[in-house]
Structure 1
Amino acid sequence: MKIAVIDAQGAGLGQTVIKRIRKEIPKEIYIIGLGTNTIATSNMVRAGANVGITGEKAICSFCDRQNINCIIGPIGVICNGGINSEIPASITQYIFQMDCIKYIIPLRNHNVFIPGTRNLEIKEIINEIIIDIKETLII
């Protein structure tokens, strides 16, 4: 199974997701850390990603040619200019076009509010993602 985790800046959320996947899912999982910058990528690799891919061109190329089971990232990765302008339109477009499950974490600091998520903690959201991966993707 291949899982991509995308994040920007220091990849705090990406690191947390990768660590939880490594802890909670016992099967052999291949994790790709997609970082918009070298700090984000290296932090995700340190957290347990098998490989890291950095930058707009490399991320778009990966999204265009890779067959993965799912991609996980904050809501800013599907917003042009998201995550303090680190997410260009090309990345959002390639993510949308990927033929896989997309787990989008609804952080409120991107000025996008999803009703029903107000009282959810990141920990709860990541738990739901882990449960769904186990139920949906692991055979």
Structure 2
Amino acid sequence: MVIAVVDGQGGGIGRAIVEKIKAAMPEVHVIGLGTNSVATGQMLRAGADDGATGENAIVHNMQHVDIVVGVIGILNANSMMGELTPTMASAIGGSHTYKVLLPINRCHIHVVSVEDIPLGRHIDNAVSAIQNFIAENQ
């Protein structure tokens, strides 16, 4: 299984996601896809097996990964203060990969009827969803 983690700005959320995925499933291949080099660097330092930066990297890799993980804003054009381009959002949303999205109420998106819990618990829930998907698809 190849898992892409998409993040931007400072890369803190992507770093936390990569750390928890690699701790729970060290055998999976994780690609850190950053909208900028700082985010990519954070994910690589957290243990991502590979990393790439920018629009073309994100668009290209959506064809080659099994799972994509990130905040719900990665489906929204111009989110992350404009770092996530319409082309990136279209590639992520239009890909046939399994998407695991964290309900972070930023980027002018407010997700209702979702439990208001700390980010770390959302990430734990995302890792659990990934593990279940992998188990069902092996």
> Could you tell me which of 101, 104, 123 is aligned with 1:104?
101
Give the aligned partner of residue 23 of structure 1: 23
Give the aligned partner of residue 12 of structure 1: 12
Give the aligned partner of residue 38 of structure 1: 37
Letter in 1 for 2:128: I
What are the within-5 Å matches in structure 2 for residues 35-114 of structure 1?
Answer: 35-63=34-62, 65-66=63-64, 68-114=65-111
Secondary structure of 1:81's counterpart equals coil
1:109 offset after TM fit, Å?
2.2
CA distance in 2, matches of 1:30, 1:49: 8
CA distance in 2, matches of 1:133, 1:106: 16
**Does the 8 A contact of 2:100 with 2:129 survive in 1?**
no
CA distance in 2, matches of 1:134, 1:105: 15
How many residues matched?
Answer: 136
Moved more, 113-122 or 76-85: 113-122
Please give the root-mean-square deviation of Cα atoms over the aligned residues, in Å: 1.3
CA distance in 2, matches of 1:20, 1:86: 24
Q: Normalising by the residue count of structure 2, what TM-score does the alignment of the two structures yield?
A: 0.92
**Does the 8 A contact of 1:69 with 1:137 survive in 2?**
no
1:111 offset after TM fit, Å?
2.1
- Cα deviations across residues 69-123 of structure 1 (Å, max 9, x unaligned)? 2100112211111011101100000001211111111111222111122512212
CA distance in 1, matches of 2:122, 2:79: 20
Letter in 2 for 1:34: L
Q: Normalising by the residue count of structure 1, what TM-score does the alignment of the two structures yield?
A: 0.91
Unaligned runs of 5+ in 1: none
Unaligned runs of 5+ in 2: none
Letter in 1 for 2:129: D
Is 1:117 paired with 2:114?
Answer: yes
Q: Which runs of 4+ in 1 moved over 6 A?
A: none
